[in-house]
Amino acid sequence: MQVILGTKIGMTQIIGETGEVTPVTILQAGPCIVTQIKTIETDGYNAVQVGYGQGKNLSKSVSGHVKKAGEEVAPKILKEFRVEEIPEGMKVGDKITIENFKLGDKVSVTGTSKGKGYAGTVKRWNFNESRNTHGFKGNIRRVGSIGSMYPQKVWKGKKMPGRMGHDKVTVKNLVVAYLDAEKNLLGLKGAVPGPNKGIISVEGRSNMALNKDIFGLTVENHELVKLAYDTYLANSRSSHAKTLKRGEVRGGGKKPWRQKGTGRARFGSTRNPIWRHGGVAFGRTGNENFTKKLAKSSKLLAVRQALSMRNADKAVIVLDKDVKLTGKTKDAVKVLKDLKLEDKNVLAVVKEKTPEILRSTNNLPNVKLVRASYLNVFDIMNADAIVFSEAALKETEKWLLGEEK
């Protein structure tokens, strides 16, 4: 089980064998003590509670609770990690160290960000300052108008001055770049939220390994992907558009001006194609057929090649199992913020379009939902990120590898 609690020590750099410099954050990770094991039979769900640090003046209730793990156990922090299955052989009092982690693992890190105190809108929300010129002599960093006469209230969520920072922040997909089992040091590539000496929670990503037959192909020739892309566009093109010929345009029976004495050339009808609102020469008749066909095997191979290309661009993300959408837009917004995709075009691949998922994403114009068996090259290549749920990833593998019955 890849979970551990630790303390942030600070940032440094490590130099690889090739001379590449990698910025890492060093954590004093563990050891942690298992203080409680929850199961579906006793608590309704599976979870492991761990304790970290050395606490002082513990209350009698906490002391009695952790006493089962050992007489000398007095943790400073208690945290519960939900799991699908309790690791075999795990019992109360066991130690958890960084031995479960290895270099290259991807983890999710949770900490409390640095507190900035009470901040104005310029610092807190990156608002522009007011101008200093043209007679403006007031406070250039003030908020300004916060609403109109109607509805005579301030909308909930309005960006205003207030407390900044000291929030629970989760950063996902950090890579383990350094391990020292003797000193319990864990190095993560990149920045970790919170100040030095802050408590950090590290949890191994539950992402499934990506199938190399789908996401690991070497694509040297892009002709098939381009053909599938053009086929999608052609099949999306409407064949019902129709233009009016000269004989179908309304009007034109009366000459636009008298034929002689005007100094202009004679003109007999406004239905002439060179006139505005005139007929169209050689226009669409509505009977054109732009449909293109592509063999199913070629289509599936093109989708696999497209996914491999995007995976090479690090655009493929698999969500944790604990991500749940309850039908509120803020749930989907939180997931996008955690993945740093709030300003990106996201292709969300799901197994089924449930009402909760639809309601959570309907108001997000940058998110496109698609079922796993309806993936296409056009959507894959145009998305900034392709996000799979684990169920959708399994369904995609069945579809693309011909295992679907």
In DSSP notation, 14-29 reads: EE-TTS-EEEEEEEEE
pTM higher than 0.75: no
Q: Which residues in the chain land under pLDDT 50? A: 207, 404-405
Distance CA 293, CA 231 (A): 7
Name the nearest CA neighbour of 317 among 365, 267, 388, 254.
388
DSSP 8-state symbol, 63: H
pLDDT on residue 17:
85
Distance CA 345, CA 365 (A): 9
| Residues in CB range of 391: below 8 A, 6 or more apart | 350, 351
Phi, psi of 69 (to 5 degrees): -85, -10
pLDDT on residue 403:
53
Phi-psi domain of 307 (left: phi exceeds 0; alpha: psi -120 through 50; beta: other): alpha
Distance CA 247, CA 363 (A): 47
Distance CA 13, CA 390 (A): 34
pLDDT on residue 208:
52
Joined tokens for residue 396? 């995609």
Domains of the chain, each with CATH number or no CATH: 3-115+169-204 (3.30.160.810), 116-165 (4.10.960.10), 212-234+292-400 (3.40.1370.10), 240-289 (no CATH)
**Other beta carbons less than 10 A from residue 138's beta carbon:** 9
Distance CA 392, CA 74 (A): 43
pLDDT on residue 207:
46
pLDDT on residue 405:
35
Distance CA 66, CA 36 (A): 8
